[in-house]
Structure 1
Amino acid sequence: MASARPLRADAARNRKKILDAAREQIAAHGPDVGMDEIAAAAGVAVGTLYRHFPAKTDLVEAVVADWLDRLADGLESAVARLATGSRALEEIAAFLRHFLGTAANDMAVKAAARALGADPEPDGPLQRVTTALNTLIRTGQDDGDVHPDVTLADFHLLLDAAPAHRDTRDNDRWLTLVLPGLTTNGRPGPTA
């Protein structure tokens, strides 16, 4: 398959405006928000929106992929900081704090993706997120800070149960309760 040509600068700006508006509109109004409303919020003609995203599912998949790309960028930066002496557990805690700060909009987009049957490509940004998070978990376990039985599946459980639409105090409390369960200090090791 031939690689796609890079977007012109104005087309790239429009695409970003559409993705940002779609994320905000879906978070505010759910998966039933219309393409006309998204185009208006982006400040583009509806034809421009449809040139970029022929179907709503395409748009939602792009919003999810964009979110996963940003998540992957942050996690890959966290992995890079390990080489400069940062502790994996500190990076995991920072990731969870960041995730909580953006959870409300991100959870709404994920719900819309499920409702519309949109599914991100498994080899794209989702794979980057998985690889980086697994690296943080394994490094934390090697450091002796992260409990040896913690897995990527555990993080999926935690992130799905994150307190979306809550205030900062609730988010801080959630972290206070969750972090000890991930650490070797928070609970005893496995028994033989």
Structure 2
Amino acid sequence: MAGAKGGGRSTGVSAAPHLRADAARNRERIVEAAREALALHGTEVPLDEIARRAGVGNATLYRHFPDRSVLARDVVLAVAERIADRARDALDEAAQGCDPFEALSRFTAAAVEERVGALCPFLSEDFDDREPRLLAARQRLEHLVGELFDRARRAGRLRADADIGDLLLALGQLTRPLPGTECAQFDRFLGRHLQIFLDGLRAPARSELPGRAATVEAFRQG
């Protein structure tokens, strides 16, 4: 699959360049606390609560993130790079002889744990997903997942009429709780629904999928 080169592990994205070590650690704690709070409480979680979870003062949070859009960018970036790292791990497993579909399945389960779907409502209309660091992270993720798909397909373990956009779209849908549901109850069923989805990707396929496979290009266009 054609994609961005450089599939190595990320070095961490939450810390902005030229920050002191303690400031960089604070920034990373805020980003991680924001990701966890969003997954648990939704997009209306107060920034004060995020600061409390991160163990920093409100002034520290606002010094790093003057508004929610800046925080949203860094949270999305951190999640994208962490998911790409999981894809890199899965590719390494496949290269060492692991069944390529099982490697793909383990990557998918790890990506689900990031609860990427919970972030979608957090992104405002003016969110710039073409920002250079975000674009690089997305291209790296797409490249690595494409490699996983290629390996599983060459081994005859992945149905031929699915593409990586199908997986990326499913990750968002599987991890976005329905309005009014409690997270604890949502998590009870997440593993079941993940397995149903993975069984649907497995070859030999038991049905013919309607429409066309969701390619990366189609996924970007929505």
CA offsets per residue over residues 10-60 of structure 1, 9 Å max, x none?
111111121122223333443233333322332223232222222210001
CA distance in 1, matches of 2:23, 2:120: 25
Map of 2:201 onto structure 1: 182
CA distance in 2, matches of 1:171, 1:21: 22
Partner secondary structure for residue 7 of structure 1: coil
1:45 alignment partner, one of 43, 57, 62: 57
- Equivalent residues in 2 for 1:40-189, closer than 5 Å: 40-103=52-115, 106-113=116-123, 115=124, 117-120=126-129, 121=131, 122-162=134-174, 164=177, 165=183, 166-168=186-188, 170-187=189-206
CA distance in 2, matches of 1:189, 1:30: 36
Return 171-180 or 81-90, whichever deviates more: 171-180
CA distance in 2, matches of 1:5, 1:167: 36
Moved over 4 A (4+): none
CA offsets per residue over residues 84-134 of structure 1, 9 Å max, x none?
11222111111222233343xx32223212x46434445222111111111
Question: What is the identity, as a one-letter code, of the residue corresponding to 2:84?
Answer: A
Q: Which runs of 5+ in 1 are unaligned?
A: none
The Cα shift of 1:176 comes to 3.5
Pick the structure with more helix per residue: 1
CA pair 171-38 structure 1, distance change in 2 beyond 3 A: closer
Partner secondary structure for residue 31 of structure 1: coil
CA offsets per residue over residues 142-181 of structure 1, 9 Å max, x none?
111111221112113322331544234x234323422232
Q: Which runs of 5+ in 2 are unaligned?
A: 1-15, 178-182, 210-222
Bigger Rg, which one: 1
Partner secondary structure for residue 167 of structure 1: helix
Tell me the TM-score normalised to structure 2 length: 0.71
Report how many residues are paired: 183
CA distance in 1, matches of 2:52, 2:194: 38
CA distance in 2, matches of 1:71, 1:53: 23
CA distance in 2, matches of 1:49, 1:141: 45
